[in-house]
Structure 1
Amino acid sequence: MESLLTDRLATLSHPQRMAVFRLLMRRYPDELPAGEIATALDLKASTASVYLSALTQVALISQRRDGTRLLYAVNLDAAREIVSGLFVDCCRGRADLCPPQVSDLLTSLSARPDKTFNVLFVCTGNSARSIFAETILRDIAGERFTAYSAGTAARSDLNPFAVALLGAKGHDTSGLRAKSITEFQGKGAPRMDFVFTVCDRAANEDCPVWPGQPVSGHWGLPDPVKATGTDAQKRLAFQQTYAALRNRIKAFTSLPFESLDAGSLQRHVDEIGRQPATQE
C-alpha cells in the first residue's frame, strides 16, 4: 500500500498529469473522451495519451472503451486513499493538524432548515444557459434559494433569443445582465452554498476554490447560442435547453434538504446532472 501511495504521488508530481487528474475530478462523475481532455488542456493528442496511460497504470483514473472511443473518469476511491495515506499518521497523533472532513466543512442542512441557500450557475458567456437557470430558480423557489449566475468570460449582452423566451414564459427579465465570475470571488461577495456549471467548457476550467466548500455539480447542456438554421429552429434549441434546466431545477428544489447529509446531497446533485438533456 505504501508503494502504491508513493507511485501515485510520483505520477501526480508532473504538472500536466496533475492537470489531467484535476480536470477529471472537476468533471466527476462524467466520463470524458481523450480528445476533449486534450482540447481542454491544450495538449497534443499523443501527449494526452501518455499522461492518461500513466494515470491509468496507478489506478488514479479508469478507462472504458465505447465503440471507437476511450472514455476516462477519475477513480474517487484512489483520491480518497491518497488523502487517507498522507494524513493517517497525523490523525492518530495530532487530530488538530488533519484536514476537516467534508461533513465538517458543510454544515448539516438539517440544522438549518430555514436557511435561504445561495446558488450560483456558471457558464462561459452568461448569455443563455446560466441566465435561464438563475431566472428559473428565482421564480420557482425564490423564498428558499437566492439565485445568481455568472460567466467565466462574460459577454456584454444577453442573447436576444434567451431573453425573448424568458419573457414568453412569464419571467421578469428587467434586472437580468451578463456578469463575470469575478463578481462572486472578491471580498464581500455572497458565500455560495451550491455552485453548478451548466456548460462543459466552464466545468473544464480550473477555477479558484470557493470559500466554504459549497456543494458543486455539473449540469452541462448543449449551447443553444450555437444553433443554426432558421429562427424557428434556433428558438427550438433555446426551448429545449430551457425545458431541460427547468426539469433539473425542479428536481433539485424538491430534494428533502433537511434530511440529507452532505454525501447524500452530493449524490442527488450528480444524479440530477445525468438527466437526459432532451427530457420533457
Structure 2
Amino acid sequence: MSDGMLRVAVVGASAGLGRCIGVGLSHRGAQVALLARRRERLVDAAKEAGNGAVPVVCDVTDAESCRRAMQETVSALGRLDALVYTTGMGVLAPLEQTTADQWAQLFATNVTGASLITAAAVQHLAATGGSAVYLSSLSASYTTPWPRLGAYAVSKAALDKLVEAWRIEHPEVGFTRLAVGDSMGGAGDSQTEFNKSWDPAALSEAIDFWMSHGYMQGGLVDADHLVDVVNAVIRCGKSSFIPYLTLAPRPSSAVDELR
C-alpha cells in the first residue's frame, strides 16, 4: 500500500449491505471493485461510489466467473488489499418444508460462493499481506437459530467454519468473520433485499412469532456504522487483524420497519 490507498473487492455490491459497504468504503478513501451479477446496478453503484470504483460482473456460484472477475479486479486496481464478502440469501420456511433445491441454493450462495471467490483472490491478498471479511449472522454462533430461518442459520454457521479453515490454510492473510444483526441498509438499491422474495403474509406472521417469543427485539444495525467497522478491520491488514467480530443492535421499536 505504498500510495496509502486501499484496493478492495466487495462481493455482492449491487444492492443491499454490499452496496452500502462498497460505496461507503469508496467514500472513505478506498479504491473499490464492486462485484455482483447485475451489471446495470453495478454501473450505477460505481457512479455513486466515485473515486475510481470499478464494476465487475461475477457469479459467485461459478468458479470460472470468480477467476475472471478477480483477474479483472486486480488488473483494474493494480493489486488487492482486501476482500469483503457480503453475498447472502435466506429461505423463510420450517426445516421440514425446506426443499433440496433450496438447501443447494443456500449453500451455493452463502458458503460455496464465498470459498470460490476466496480461492480466486487468496494469492493476491497474500502478496499484499491483506485481509478478507465475511458477513455472517448472530444466529450462526451467538443465538439459537430463529424458527423458519433454520436453514439460513445452518449455512452461516458453515460459513463461519469456512473462514476458520481458510485462516488455518493461509495464515499470511487476515481472515475475519463479522457477525451482523438485522439492518435495513441504506436508501434505494442500498436497502436490504434479503426478505424481498418472501411472501409478505408469511413474513408478517414470522415477525409476530419472533417478537412474541423473544427472538426479535426491534434493534437494527446502522449501515454507516457497519461500513465504519468494515473499514477499520480491513485497514488493520494481516499485521493486527481481528479474527472474530460481532455487531449487534440495541433493542428498539424499529421492528415495525421490517413488516
TM-score for the superposition, normalised by structure 2: 0.41
- Report which of the two structures shows the higher radius of gyration computed on alpha carbons: 1
- Which one scores higher on RCO, CA 8 angstroms, separation ≥ 6? 2
